[in-house]
Amino acid sequence: MSSERLLNIVDRQFNTLFYNESKYKNFLDIVGKFHGYSIENMLLILSQCPSASKIAGYHTWKNKYGRKVKADAKGIELLAPKTVSVYVDKTTNRVVKYKDVTKDELQRALRAGLVERKRQQKGYINITVFDISETDGNEIDIEGINSNVIVNDIDKLCRVVERVTGIKMTLVNVGDEFKKSGNEIVIINHGDISTIKELISKAIDSFTSKLEFKDEIYSGEYNDTEVFSVSDIDRLVINTSITYIILNKFGIETDDYNFKIITNWANSYISTKEGKRKLKLLVGYIGKIADRLLIEIENEYGISINMIEENNVDTIREHLAEELLTMLEANAARVKINGGGAL
């Protein structure tokens, strides 16, 4: 399937994502499982294999995990960024066009520190990954984040939330006296799941209330770009979605979290080009904030529960090698047909 067709699938999935509460929750489940992936690839997973739990490339399954992809496996097609080398003028921060300079001039500028070499995305290449259900072989211990572990050591969760949000969190045992200071959030520790729910919910509400929403959120950084306004309903959807993702990941009951407003909320944006762009940015924020929290939680509790195959260099190389092999085979055919040098 071409990259263009995959992007069309992404667009269709996004357009239907908010049709009902059930479909939106299915998407949030995917975000929790594959939070290190781009929104585009999460939508492709949702489209092709919504029940996926662990995914990796053919050689990663074979060489790293001792599992073989089944002969009848269909796989999941994802998009990986295709990058090219460019030279950027350090003064103007613009890409140097090869037609404007000679090779020698470019090399002199590079040695003088006037330009720098960078990688720039230029389209996509397709990669195929496989869910664990499409493989056989060695047993894999699929760990999850156990809510009981967190309840028994909830101080760790406080540290994670403080690192990600910059908000001071204080746990107080039931019956203890306390004095709140400044913007500190005080949580009564009941020693059960309700403490986790309150901690996550209040922290995310406080964090997003102070966050400037900008129109570029990739690479894990908020770049210096135009700030866009976020309504109270926007924040409600964002906060509820992130809280749902985190609690669902802990295996905590989330039936009391509903998204009945999701269709009307999305319809207020999706009918126009600018509105759809903003909606994508808002959904992107949901994914990025959840990703930051889950990565820190996994690190703090010593749990590795995702195979972030999108960034797996071996998988990208595998597909680039396939492309190169096809080019070499085509070139050899030309040589044979022309009875001489390669074209």
- Are the beta carbons of 270 and 15 closer than 8 angstroms? yes
What's the rounded Cα separation, in Å, for the pair 98 and 258? Answer: 54
Q: Specify the 3-state DSSP secondary structure of 180.
A: coil
What's the rounded Cα separation, in Å, for the pair 305 and 32? Answer: 10
Beta strands in 9-114 (DSSP E): 55-56, 67-69, 76-89
Q: Name the token pair of 100.
A: 């404007």
Q: Half-sphere exposure of 4 toward its Cβ, with a 13 Å CA cutoff?
A: 0
Bridge-based pairing of strands 169-173 and 76-89 is: unpaired
- Residuewise pLDDT in 10s, the chain (343 residues): 788 899 999 999 999 999 999 999 999 999 999 988 989 999 999 999 999 999 999 999 999 899 999 999 999 999 988 878 888 888 888 888 878 888 888 888 888 888 888 887 778 888 999 999 999 999 886 656 677 878 888 888 898 888 888 888 888 888 777 777 777 888 888 888 999 999 999 999 988 888 878 765 443 333 445 677 889 999 999 999 999 999 998 888 888 888 999 999 999 999 899 999 999 999 999 998 999 898 888 888 877 555 544 444 344 344 444 434 344 444 444 444 444 433 3
- Are the beta carbons of 59 and 148 closer than 8 angstroms? no
Bridge-based pairing of strands 135-137 and 67-69 is: antiparallel
Could you tell me the CA-to-CA distances from 61 to 143, 274, 309 in Å, in that order? Answer: 17, 41, 11
Q: Name the token pair of 170.
A: 């204080």
- For residue 79, the tally of other CB atoms under 10 A from its CB is 21
- Are the beta carbons of 79 and 310 closer than 8 angstroms? no
pTM score, two decimals? 0.77
Beta strands in the chain (DSSP E): 55-56, 67-69, 76-89, 115-131, 135-137, 169-173, 185-189
- Are the beta carbons of 188 and 195 closer than 8 angstroms? yes
The residue to which tokens 């047909």 are assigned = 337
